Structure 1
Amino acid sequence: MRATLPVRAAVAVLAVLLTAVGCSGGGQTAPPGGKADVRVLLDWFPNPDHVGLYTANDRGMFTAANLNVTLTPPSNPADPLKLVAAEQVELGISYEPDVLMAAEQDLPVTAVAALVPTALNSLMSVNTSPVRTPADLAGKTVGTAGLPSDDVYLKQITAKHGVDLNSVNKVNVSSNLVAAMLSGQVDATIGAYRNIEGVQLTDAGKAPTIVPVTDAGVPEYDELVVVANRDRLRDDPGYRDAVKRFIGALGQGVSAAQADPKSAAESMRKVATGFEPATIDRMVEATTPLLTNPRGFGRMDPAKWQAFADWLHASGMAKEKIDAGPLVTNDYVPAG
């Protein structure tokens, strides 16, 4: 995903966080039920996709679960998987496709809850761009956040709409998706979300063209997931317990945000800098319905994960077949 703030800010914050708390180095977490420090590396700068996290934090739900939770933006959207795998943070927020593709890197990560259980990623352009439909991408420049899944979506969109992928100039703009569109550096982006950048650009009078990637032939998937270290889940009872308590409190935060979006927007205004307050309100209003999970908060469908993994292999984005089994579990989400 997507934001407009300088990456340097996230680098500085992450450096301070890891210096202050140190890294786990494979050490044991506090005993089950004990006070536990849980460092969570976000997928992006704080924005309303994280409304459940910040509502839970603001309302003391993590504290009530005897957790000291620190929420930090990454220096790069690919960092959460790497730092969770390296045991430098306890949990990360990432994306289903990227968790699946992490299997090729042998990263010991597992999705333990779906935070946003529906796809949000879109092909997006502003009203001054020559790209009004996916077919217009031929010969144009597309900005991405640099995630492996961005390549998957660009390949799918161009194939479906008869565009030669080699004619498209792909540029990694990292977190500067909106700025790249507004400046004309790129003609369109992949990585922007309809409920965040779509709202931001609409409020700015840019009448964005938004094509959800799932309308371009990408199967449905869980956009944002909470990711834990698979080895620590296996070996560390205190870590398993802390993860379960965290997911339970996060579920309470999501429910609270959906029940009272106005109060949830107030929590987001404290951290989602760079947006007008009224725009944050509209983003939260657009986001909270998307957090509803028909299977129950946090739950994922392993069969659908496997189907998506098979699609990645069939599309050529994964060199080897992916076994989704070790990469997704519902063992830590609330029952019922």
Structure 2
Amino acid sequence: MNNKKLKITAIVAIMAIVIGIVSFGVFKMGNASKNENKEKKEFTKITFCLDWTPNTNHTGLFVAKGKGYFEEEGLEVEFVQPPEDGALLMCSSGQAQFAIDAQDTFAAALDGDKDYGVTAISAILQHNTSGIISRKGDGIVSPAGLEGKTYSTWESPIEMAMIKNVMEEENADFDKLKLIPNTITDEPAALAAKQTDAIWVFYGWGGINADIEKVDCDFFFFRDINPVFDYCTPVIFGNNEFMESNPEITKAFLRACKKGYEYAVENPDDAADILIKEDSTNSLQGADKLVHESQKWISKEYISDAKSWGYIDSSRWDRFYKWLYDNKLTKNNLSKTGYTNEYLSE
């Protein structure tokens, strides 16, 4: 009787071991299957053309990539540098589905005979943070101080009209401003070396860099002189054909971007580290202090007074384009054209 019980016990034990082995095998196969499915998950490939080498305007994009926000939306995003003819044309041709440009430079594309087939779909910054930087003590604390000074220009008609407008706002003579070609890559260094007296920069990079390089400078924003110049820059654009065929992918792309910029608002230091790490051009190597200080300043500008990141203020957009038309800088009144908020999430 005891031998029989021992045999039954042994059989039960063996069966338990067998069941355990089989179960473990099934469990492993299940996990392997899940991992295989994950690896086989198909991502929609997106090419995004930047407007310049990576900088803190782009941080939310690099955060979205580095923290996997694009992947969560089923997207595989590649950032590329702009060609000589600009990011907008790359987006227009379909080589990139999305790109960065500015409202002022976009005007020429909208006003021409050719349909570029692109639309602005989100504002990276809520306000125009550009203005004029100059050596401290030279008296260029406002546009009136430009009279009799040397200004480095890109020779853009809109640029010239804006400079003339803000000078005339203060009864200064634009014709007494000496213009030289802008070939500057380091604005504070150029000012310190007296290569020029005044340069158009975006404060979040050029202005902050002056502090980093310990060059004492004065600065004024265009928007403070004339509110019409508080237009949208920089802006994310999309290829119309792609967006019309893929509205959900476009919305998913902007959701990931929004999440990246919101993270940068709340975590500027960590976001700066991610930007440096994710920059495949290595152009930010050795510029850690500039990136971090710039990020602290610009993170407050991503959403600012808007209801949410990315929102394009139609009144400011239209007001600037009407000004261009009124001043004969465009053939057509471009108000109410070229932008949409329909792909943005609340």
TM-score > 0.5 by shorter chain: yes
Q: Match for 1:114: what amino acid?
A: A
- Contact 1:40–1:72 (CA<8 Å) still a contact in 2? yes
Alignment of 1:310-321 (within 5 A): 310-321=322-333
- Contact 1:254–1:291 (CA<8 Å) still a contact in 2? yes
% same residue? 21
Distance 1:152 1:230, change over 3 A: farther
| Residue 321 of structure 2 is aligned to residue 309 of structure 1 | yes
Distance 1:150 1:115, change over 3 A: same
| Residue 61 of structure 2 is aligned to residue 50 of structure 1 | no
What is the aligned partner in structure 1 of residue 339 from structure 2?
Answer: 328
Once the two structures are TM-superposed, the CA of residue 244 in structure 1 deviates from its matched residue by 1.8
Once the two structures are TM-superposed, the CA of residue 197 in structure 1 deviates from its matched residue by 1.0
Alignment of 1:218-229 (within 5 A): 218-219=227-228, 220-229=230-239
Secondary structure of 1:209's match?
strand
Secondary structure of 2:342's match?
coil
Once the two structures are TM-superposed, the CA of residue 275 in structure 1 deviates from its matched residue by 5.6
Deviates more, 1:127-136 or 1:88-97: 127-136
| Residue 105 of structure 2 is aligned to residue 125 of structure 1 | no
What is the aligned partner in structure 2 of residue 39 from structure 1?
Answer: 47
- Contact 1:43–1:80 (CA<8 Å) still a contact in 2? yes
Q: 1:215 aligns with which of 214, 221, 224?
A: 224
Secondary structure of 1:50's match?
helix
Instruction: Name the Cα RMSD after superposition.
Output: 2.5
Alignment of 1:163-242 (within 5 A): 163-173=172-182, 176=185, 178=187, 179-190=189-200, 192-219=201-228, 220-234=230-244, 237-238=245-246, 240-242=247-249
Secondary structure of 1:290's match?
coil
| Structure 2 gaps, min length 5 | 1-40
Distance 1:244 1:117 in 2: 20
What is the aligned partner in structure 1 of residue 310 from structure 2?
Answer: 298
Distance 1:311 1:251 in 2: 30
What is the aligned partner in structure 1 of residue 150 from structure 2?
Answer: 141
- Greater fraction helix: 2
| Residue 68 of structure 2 is aligned to residue 60 of structure 1 | yes
**Paired residue total:** 297
Distance 1:70 1:286 in 2: 27
Once the two structures are TM-superposed, the CA of residue 278 in structure 1 deviates from its matched residue by 2.2
Which structure: larger Rg? Answer: 2
Distance 2:73 2:128 in 1: 30
TM-score, normalising length: structure 2: 0.77
Deviations 1:2-30 (A, max 9, x none): xxxxxxxxxxxxxxxxxxxxxxxxxxxxx
Distance 1:112 1:201, change over 3 A: same
Deviations 1:46-103 (A, max 9, x none): 1112111111111111122221212233355x61222212222211111122223421
Deviations 1:132-184 (A, max 9, x none): 44222223322245666433432222222333333323344266251543443
Once the two structures are TM-superposed, the CA of residue 241 in structure 1 deviates from its matched residue by 3.2
Deviates more, 1:109-118 or 1:159-168: 159-168
| Structure 1 gaps, min length 5 | 1-32
Q: Match for 2:289: what amino acid?
A: A
Q: Match for 2:272: what amino acid?
A: A
Deviates more, 1:175-184 or 1:261-270: 175-184
